Amino acid sequence: MSNYDLSVRQPAPRDIVGSRLAIAACGTAFEASWEWRLTAGSETLAKGYFQAGSTGIMGTFAYEAQVEGVTYIGPAAFEFNGDTGKENPDFVSVPVVVVPGAIGYVPYQVKEGDTLTKIVRDNPWSSPIATVEAIVAANELSNPDYIEIGQELRIPV
């Protein structure tokens, strides 16, 4: 099996990964065995294995994994492969954002006078997950002091 035989449909690039991870793909693997991991640089944040689909048949499948014990917030990679019997398998990689404990996000349009601190403080969906640090990571903001009126932000919840 090569990367050309595996098409990851979920997570999509830049998806927020929190307490659970939805994995959807089209592919085949020996004994329908799959391996996933979340990495930040050379560090493995979380990993798991599951079985789905049929041996030798290209097909679609979906799986929900629990992500536990991760404290890292920021850009990461979702890496995925099927069992090929090789000692060092090829992984398909998708860039994601890790926000521990998040179950999703709320879209928010920046208004005049908003700052990230004000957005976190003044909204009813604010939670311990919706921190300035989490918003910066979820939106890949290079400068947390610079947001624009009308800008659409993803607020992790």
In this structure, the answer to whether residues 89 and 139 fall within a common structural domain is no
Beta strands in the chain (DSSP E): 7-10, 16-17, 20-27, 33-40, 43-51, 59-66, 74-82, 92-98, 105-109, 152-156
Q: Please, are residues 45 and 76 in contact by the beta-carbon 8 Å criterion?
A: yes
Measured distance CA(67)–CA(2) in Å, rounded: 26
- Among candidate residues 49, 76, 98, the one where a domain is terminated: 98
Print the domain residue range for 59.
3-98
Q: Is the pLDDT of residue 26 over 90?
A: no
Q: Could you tell me the CATH number of the domain that includes residue 31?
A: 2.60.40.1930
What's the pLDDT band for 73 if we cut at 50, 70, 90?
very high
Q: Write the DSSP assignment of 111-126 as a string of letters.
A: -TT--HHHHHHH-TT-
Chain centroid to Cα 80, Å, comes to 12
Mean pLDDT calculated for residue range 8-32: 89
In this structure, the answer to whether residues 15 and 88 fall within a common structural domain is yes
Q: Each residue of 94-137: pLDDT tens digit? A: 999 999 999 989 999 999 999 999 999 888 776 778 899 999 99
Q: What is the pLDDT of residue 1?
A: 42
In this structure, the answer to whether residues 125 and 85 fall within a common structural domain is no
Mean pLDDT calculated for residue range 25-49: 89
- One-letter amino acid at 64 equals E
Q: Could you tell me the CATH number of the domain that includes residue 130?
A: 3.10.350.10
In this structure, the answer to whether residues 22 and 78 fall within a common structural domain is yes
In this structure, the answer to whether residues 88 and 53 fall within a common structural domain is yes
In this structure, the answer to whether residues 84 and 130 fall within a common structural domain is no
* pTM as predicted: 0.87
In this structure, the answer to whether residues 18 and 90 fall within a common structural domain is yes
In this structure, the answer to whether residues 63 and 125 fall within a common structural domain is no
Measured distance CA(37)–CA(100) in Å, rounded: 15
How many structural domains compose the chain?
2
